[in-house]
Amino acid sequence: MKFFTAILTMTLSLVIILTAGVNEQIQLSESFENGVPPSGWKTINNGFILDNWEASGWKAHSGQKSAFAEAYYATLDHWLVTPAIDLSSFSHAYLYFYEDEDNWSNGGSHHYIKVSTTSQTNTSSFTTVLDMTPSNHTIDGIHGNVVQVDLSAYVGNSTVYVAFHIQGDDNWYIDDVSVTGSQAHDVRAISVDMNSHYTANSSVTPGGVVSNVGDNAESFDVDFGYYNWDGSLTVLDTKTVSNLAAGASASITFNAFTIGDYERKFFIQTKLAGDNDPSNDIASKFVNTFSDNKSMVVVEEGTGTWCQYCPGAARALDSLYKAHHGSVAVIANHNGDDFTTTESDYRNDYYGINGFPTSVFGGTHRKVGGAGCDSDWSGLYNSYESLYNTVLGENTGLEIVNLSYVENGATITATTRTRYLTSSYNTAYRMFFVLIESHIAYSWQNCMDSLQHVMRKMYPDSLGQIFYDGSTAPTAGMEVEHQVDFTIPSGVVQDNCHLIAFVQEPTTKEIFTAAIVPLDGSVSALPGDHTAGTPTQFELLQNFPNPFNPVTTIRFNVPKKSGVTLTVYDAAGKKVRTLVNRFLNAGQHAVRFDGSDLASGVYFYRLSANNFSQTNKMLLIK
């Protein structure tokens, strides 16, 4: 991460901060939880009338909402202005905010910070104190860096308005905005200068930035280290900063160390004796050495039968599901129709979905928009395919190795076993179970006769289960079991249902591992495409059941991480389906093949990996 200072019209500076409490003399604090604009704030719209600053739940640093300017209809030229701020009694003052973006590098033009001492609404009275463009400013994410702008040129004024002004074709999110005045003695930890990912056992030279936000020159030590599972700190190195002037910053290089195989939170901490605000003394950052790729993609679609553009999204997602069976789980979260549930509303709100359809891939990537009944949805499918591949290319430190269920009367007990692939010091993970139903006969939008992948329930509820709360940190290879009991809701057909399990980090919303099992009794335990045990050789097993109508399960063994393809051909040798085409970890794998769109007859399925190839025969009888 880079630390830089921008000298602008008012000789103000910009610095990047990872995490820090802001408890100095707080003159303004706003988290946008009660809407945008908040009380006393103003929005000014110089662009398309339907675009403006609004509240968003898609990205938020704290709570559930951020302020959001969206270039949906036209290029933006919009302002969000604070109430009057009194800086008359301070020697120094600072603006802080967290930010995020969509399309910044391609569509971004200017994000401004502007200040006026005379008017909240007369834009000509504002002076630009910071002009951020894609060429001079990197936006590091709503959970990463805090932007700090020095407002000391305006101290002594009892009326100061600060404006967030966007021009461009990108989207800008801001959250946790504050303006603070200085105290006599206050130094602040600005950033931990490390990558978010390294190769295990490599040498890492960490750095950090600290700033003197008080009124006097200071000398102090700075510690670097990591958090332990119990929250205590282990210090790896200490450096001394000498005679740092008020308003100045310093970059520090700590001693190199060999990073282990883990997911861990590192920190720097300032150690100024008599610091007036210890709450901003620590900055931290999660770092991992994950080496395994994700093996299943969860897609959550915000949809509704009233939505004229949702048929195209439904068709594209079902096609994606069939094309990548065993590595895609689709959850259709309905809104405003007969299939809406408390849980579907919760998930749509969790992702800040207010435009339908919106499809969220892996919890962190989304595609807004769809296609009508008579529209070409091939471009939409291509976008989905791209997002699917993006998520599969991401690293993970977790793997659901088994998802199974047993039935006792009307009660179903589902169990997952999830394996840590590295040691982890992340305590935030949650386990979720989702019941979905497909093949629901329902006429909608004059072109659709059924609904697929409809979310029916979440178990035990929308908040999921604590993933692991043991007294010691989990280590690589350790497995964690979760269990949930449930009954099929009234009116839901069990034979048309699947159960999906996934592990999600609730703040970043990233889904790290997932599995899916059909509840029709055809497969006793289908763990996505993983089950426990490591085979010694490649092997393609006979599908079961065989003959089948229309669903069967194909199992195969992979002895080591390999590029694997599993393809189905008809009797004439024409390829009809690619079930797997990617790298798989060593293990016993299973893929569910649905031939409901195929004619009865003999089909062949071929497994290819490295120099191995095997073909088996199966019979579809309808």
Question: Tokens in use for 251?
Answer: 């970059």
How many angstroms separate the CA atoms of 116 and 439, rounded? 59
How many angstroms separate the CA atoms of 524 and 403, rounded? 10
- Quick check: 3 and 266 in contact, CB under 8 A? no
- Residue 468 is classified by DSSP as -
Q: Are strands 207-212 and 187-193 parallel, antiparallel or unpaired?
A: antiparallel
Q: Is the pLDDT of residue 442 over 90?
A: yes
Across the chain, what does the average pLDDT equal? 90
Placement of tokens 């009233």 in the chain: 306
For residue 566, the model assigns a pLDDT of: 92
Q: Are strands 328-334 and 297-303 parallel, antiparallel or unpaired?
A: parallel
| Secondary-structure class of domain 187-288 per CATH | mainly beta
Class of residue 141 by CB neighbours under 10 A (exposed 0-12, middle 13-18, buried 19+): middle
- Which of 463-467, 476-480, 550-554, 609-613 has the least mean pLDDT? 550-554
Residues 298-336: b if buried by 16+ CB within 10 A, e if exposed: bbbbbbbbebebbbbbbbbbbbbbebbbbbbbbbbbbbe
Q: Where are the domains of the chain?
A: 14-181, 187-288, 293-532, 534-622
- Which of 46-55, 133-142, 329-338, 360-369 has the least mean pLDDT? 46-55
Tens digit of each residue's pLDDT (9 = 90 or more) over 126-155: 999 999 999 999 898 898 878 999 999 999
CATH architecture classification, 293-532: Sandwich (2.60)
Question: Tokens in use for 281?
Answer: 């003394």
Give the three-state DSSP class for 383: helix
Q: Is the pLDDT of residue 306 over 70?
A: yes
In one letter, which amino acid is 571? Answer: A
Q: Is the pLDDT of residue 438 over 50?
A: yes
If we measure between CA atoms, which residue out of 527, 498, 588 comes closest to residue 399? 527
Tens digit of each residue's pLDDT (9 = 90 or more) over 506-558: 999 999 999 998 887 644 333 333 333 467 899 999 988 899 999 888 888 88
How many CB atoms are located within 10 Å of the residue 257 CB? Answer: 15
SS (H, E, C) 311-358: HHHHHHHHHHHHHCCCCEEEEEEECCCCCCCHHHHHHHHHCCCCCCCE
Q: Is the pLDDT of residue 156 over 60?
A: yes
Q: Which residue has the higher pLDDT, 553 or 174?
A: 174
Q: Is the pLDDT of residue 13 over 70?
A: no
Tens digit of each residue's pLDDT (9 = 90 or more) over 365-381: 999 999 999 999 999 99
Where does 453-572 have alpha helices with state H? none
Average pLDDT rounded to a whole number, residues 244-251: 95
What interhelical angle do 378-392 and 310-323 show, nearest 10?
Answer: 50
CATH 2.60.40.1930 fits 534-622, yes or no: yes
pLDDT band of residue 390 (cuts 50, 70, 90) is very high
User: Do 187-288 and 293-532 share a fold?
Assistant: yes
Average pLDDT rounded to a whole number, residues 226-234: 97
Percentages of the chain per state (helix, strand, coil), in multiples of 5: 10, 50, 45
- Which of 24-28, 171-175, 501-505 has the least mean pLDDT? 24-28
CATH architecture classification, 14-181: Sandwich (2.60)
Dihedrals φ, ψ of 438, to 5°? -120, 180
Average pLDDT rounded to a whole number, residues 156-172: 94
How many angstroms separate the CA atoms of 592 and 548, rounded? 12
Dihedrals φ, ψ of 124, to 5°? -70, -15
- Quick check: 208 and 222 in contact, CB under 8 A? yes
